[in-house]
Amino acid sequence: MRAPEELNEVDWAALEHAYGPAGGVPEMIRVLYAQESPETERGENVGEELINNLNHQGSLYPATLAAVPFLAHLALHVTWHREALLEVLTGLAELGEWGVPAPESLGGRVRAAVLAELPLLMGCLTDPDPYVRQAAIRLACVGTRPADPAVLRTLADLYESDPSALTRADALTALALLDPDPSTVRAREAAAIDDRDREVRLAAALSGLDRAEPPYPAGLVAVVAADGAALPGSHRFTARPRPFPYPGAPHDRENELLTEDPEGALSVARAWIAAGDTHRWGSRLVGQVDQRWRDREAQCVAALAEALPLHQDGAERSSIVRAIAGLTPRAGDPGSHLRDLLLAEAAGDEQDYAAGSAYAPGVSGRESSRGKGQARTTTVPWSRRAPLPRSPTVRKSSDPAPRGGSGRSGQPNGPWPAPKWSSARASRWRAAATCACSNSPATSADRSSPRS
């Protein structure tokens, strides 16, 4: 580590970061020691600007390597930036897409510089702030193998007795990665499957799936289906909002693992949908199964049909309807229930369209039941009611303007302005109407294999 007093010993102006010479880096670091939420003259957060300069969209620079010892010292000595800086250092040390970077490469040297600071930074595993403890656990996971026995003991203590369920779950995940004794790992996870905290149960099940071969054990899949519905993101190293950007989100272990077993993934997705499809976790998983596997279209359509009535947000409904429309030609006859559902969706949007127009009687501009509208206060008599549209088509600028209109955007094309649809509602109407009226046979080959 290097203290701020040593900043002047580095020729920062001779080093490059994302936007050129790094002469401004020392002053940014000094400001972070002094202020909890510092801003630049342009009103930008100093921490965000500094990290964006040093790690811009995954790219590293010579100034990044020089800054690592100073960032580590800052993380250890300034409590208000500790969590964010531990995550930043984790991002700098994480393995690349192809594994460990070459030691002589810039990425390899930056990783080595971060790992050199780990012994002191591992003291943050016992920080009073649970979010700092979780960030320190993630940093421990990027360390070399075998892990320091003292770190393993601390992680085991966190798993056994930490008051935060998320910290316990993260410690369990870290032990699965770092503990060199496979029998101890398996015994610990077998006990954790029946833990009092659902976060811990979910972490244990995901670690078990990570070692298993598909088709996965039904017991582990059932745990993910039950506990992941309420807390589908709990196994990830989540954290509260922070003043620093996170340089690379953690991998979605859940969906990455589950889609190895399409039947297991679909059973989990339907369980999450039945539990309310919170944040569309279930319907998103269905989409990932379809992207990865053939001959699951009918099952995916059925699951998405179950999810559609659960969502009131227009953008979410539009996304699900478009997904169903894309799957139906390959899934075959959608069946009368799905056709009725989609026809109701299309009809509901037509009604919302007329009711939300500027000329509906007494309810003009009311908020659509499928998305937000713009409030209006004008009440228009029935004689000026806009006609129900046949389809939400948009006239191209090159088309001739109807008589009595200018044809310019935003100008009237008749005796009164024509009502408009948002693009999301228009695409949802087209998808729902097209899919509901479709009865085409499946076109995909009958084969259960990953998509190429």
Q: Is the pLDDT assigned to residue 187 strictly greater than 60? A: yes
pLDDT digits (tens, 9 = 90+) for 368-377: 344 433 333 3
Confidence of residue 409 (pLDDT cuts 50, 70, 90): very low
pLDDT digits (tens, 9 = 90+) for 326-342: 888 888 777 788 888 87
**pLDDT value at position 86?**
94
Which of 433, 213, 205, 266 minimizes the C-alpha distance to 339?
Answer: 433
The model's pTM is 0.74
Token pair in block for residue 242: 């922070």
DSSP 431: H
**pLDDT value at position 34?**
83
Instruction: Count CB-CB contacts under 10 A for residue 141.
Output: 19
Average pLDDT of the chain? Answer: 76
**pLDDT value at position 429?**
57
**pLDDT value at position 40?**
58
**pLDDT value at position 46?**
84
C-alpha–C-alpha distance, residues 62 and 15, integer Å: 6
pLDDT digits (tens, 9 = 90+) for 345-356: 777 655 554 444
Sign (positive or negative) of CA dihedral 420, 424, 427, 428: negative
**pLDDT value at position 190?**
95
pLDDT digits (tens, 9 = 90+) for 68-113: 999 999 999 999 889 999 989 998 987 655 567 888 899 999 999 9
Confidence of residue 279 (pLDDT cuts 50, 70, 90): confident
Tokens 């894309």 label which residue?
326
The number of residues in the chain equals: 452
Confidence of residue 425 (pLDDT cuts 50, 70, 90): low
Mean pLDDT along residues 403-410: 37
**pLDDT value at position 193?**
96
**pLDDT value at position 298?**
92
C-alpha–C-alpha distance, residues 175 and 152, integer Å: 7
Mean pLDDT along residues 401-426: 40
**pLDDT value at position 351?**
52
pLDDT digits (tens, 9 = 90+) for 151-165: 999 999 999 999 999
Q: Is the pLDDT assigned to residue 428 strictly greater than 80? A: no
Angle between helices 25-34 and 62-77 (to 10 degrees): 10
Please count the CA atoms within 13 angstroms of the CA of 383 that sit on its side-chain side.
Answer: 1
355 touches 386 (CB < 8 A): no
Instruction: Count CB-CB contacts under 10 A for residue 121.
Output: 24
**Of residues 389 and 253, which shows the higher confidence score?**
253
